[in-house]
A and B are shown apart, each in its own frame.
With several copies, the nearest count.
Chain A
Amino acid sequence: MVMKKIMNSADSFCDEMLEGIYLAHGDKVKALDGDLRVLVRAGSPRAGKVGIVTAGGSGHLPVFLGYVGEGMLDACAVGNVFASPSASKMQKMIEHADQGSGVLCLYGNYGGDNMNFDMACEFADIQGIKTAQIRVCDDVASAPLENAEKRRGVAGMIYAWKIAAAAADKMMSLDEVTAVTRRALGNIRSMGIALSPCIVPQAGKPTFEIAADEMEIGMGIHGEVGIEVSKMKSADEIVTLMMDKIVGDMPLSEGDRIAVLVNGLGGTPMEELYICYKAITEYVEDIGAVIDSRYVGEYATSMEMAGMSITVMKLDDELSELLDHPASTPFFTNLNM
Chain B
Amino acid sequence: MNRMTGNDILEIFKFIEVEMRENSSHLIHLDSFGGDGDLGISMCQGFRGIIEELSNLDLSDMELKDVFLKAAMAINEYSPSSLGTILCAGMIGGAKMIGTESESFSVRYRNFVAGALDGIMQRAGSKRGEKTILDAIGGALDALEKSIASGDSPEDAVQAASSGARDGMEATKDMIAVHGRAAYRKENSRGYVDGGATVGMLIFKAVSEYVVGN
Contacts and interface: CB of A to CB of B under 8 A. Distances in A.
B80 A87 contact: yes
A interface, over-half SS: loop
Q: What DSSP secondary structure best describes chain B's contact surface?
A: helix
Contacts of A329: none
A225 B34 contact: yes
B55 interface: no
Nearest to B80: A86
B181 interface: yes
Contacts of B179: 111
A167 B79 CA distance: 34
Contact of B28 (A86, A112, A203, A224): A203
Nearest to A199: B37
A20 B34 CA distance: 33
B184 A118 contact: no
B85 A223 contact: no
Interface in A222-279: 222-226
Interface residues of B, number: 34
A202 interface: yes
Interface in B1-45: 28, 31-32, 34-38, 40-42, 45
Which of A116, A150, A203, A226 has the largest count of B CB atoms less than 10 A from its CB? Answer: A203
Interface stretch (A38-46, A76-84, A289-297): A76-84
A9 interface: no
B184 A224 contact: yes
A226 B34 CA distance: 10
B77 interface: yes
A224 B32 contact: no
A115 B123 contact: yes
A208 interface: yes
Contact of A87 (B28, B38, B85, B86): B85
Contacts of B35: 207, 224
A83 B180 CA distance: 13
B98 to A, nearest CB: 20
B82 A208 contact: no
A225 B188 contact: yes
B164 interface: no
Q: Which of B80, B84, B89, B185 has the most CB of A within 10 A?
A: B80
Contacts of B34: 224-225
B87 to A, nearest CB: 11
Contacts of B181: 110-111, 220, 222, 224
A295 B42 CA distance: 33
A143 B184 contact: yes
Interface in B73-93: 73, 76-82, 84-86, 88-89
Nearest to A221: B36
Given A83-B80, A84-B80, A220-B181, A116 B85 contact: yes
B82 A111 contact: yes
Interface in B41-85: 41-42, 45, 73, 76-82, 84-85
Interface in A90-132: 110-112, 115-116, 118-119
A225 B187 CA distance: 12
13 contacts: A86-B78, A89-B80, A111-B181, A119-B76, A150-B183, A152-B184, A200-B38, A203-B37, A203-B41, A207-B28, A207-B36, A224-B34, A224-B36
